[in-house]
Amino acid sequence: MAGRVALVLGGQGQLVRDRSRELRTPASRLRVAREGGVPGQDLRRRGAREVTARRELVSDTLSQAWHDPEQRGTATEPLSPLAVWDLVVDNAGFESGWPARCFPCRLPADARVAGNLNDLAQALENLVRNAVRHSPAEGPVCLDGRREGDCWHLWISDRGPGVPEDRLDSIFEPFVRLDQARSAGSGFGLGLSIARRAVARQGGRIWAENGRPGLRVHLCLPAAPEVPAANV
């Protein structure tokens, strides 16, 4: 019990420290820009970007906070990863301006996993957004998969710069970002952490490897039980 309490309190303390830093940073940037004589129109555009970024941070923070540190499971049902992918990439295409052809899927049409719709959609959405963010213009970002025993092995691949081999595990930790410049489009380092928790809640696991080129993120999820054919 003491260990569990220490885990929760430690996580909350780190959460507060990280969020405090992220929330103070934009105010400092805007103050410097204003005092440096940045024209009003440019300053308003910067302000609008910061508001959008803070909204994303708050949304990701709430998503992460709802996940229990002990990774309790959620109710599952038979799901089609292909159908969830179509929904996710439709949103991703709208956000990025990429056409549908930039999100090819080579997953068999009969693929069914025992998953939770909200968790699966959240995991795929965060993985796709991360891939788009680090990919060249119009990707592509691909979904592949195959049945392996009692699981479906899925993987999402991009054509980005990849990740140093010694950082492949740490990218799933909260607030880990490899782009130290913290550019406006670099995100907050929460997406992959949230994806890992969402996959774990469904009884699955997630890992990454370099695809040369790009990054390949793997998901292993339980296969949905097959429905026996009705007797005629």
What's the whole-number mean pLDDT along residues 111-131? 93
- Same domain? For 87 and 50 the reply is no
Are residue 89 and residue 151 in the same domain, yes or no?
yes
Distance CA 26, CA 3 (A): 36
Note whether 87 and 105 are within 8 A (CB).
Answer: no
User: What is the Cα–Cα distance from 98 to 202, expressed in whole angstroms?
Assistant: 30
Whole-model pTM: value is 0.67
For residue 5, the 8-state DSSP code is H
* Domain housing 191: 77-222
Residues 61 and 166 in one domain: no
Given 65, 96, 112, the domain boundary residue is: 65
Q: Are 175 and 194 in contact (CB under 8 A)?
A: no
194 within 8 A of 126, measured Cβ to Cβ:
yes
Q: Give per-residue pLDDT as tens, 95-111.
A: 889 999 999 999 999 99
pLDDT digits (tens, 9 = 90+) for 152-191: 999 999 999 999 999 998 898 876 665 543 334 444 467 8
Is residue 7 within 8 Å of residue 71, measured between CB atoms?
no
Say whether both 60 and 84 belong to one domain: no
Q: What is the number of domains present in the chain?
A: 2
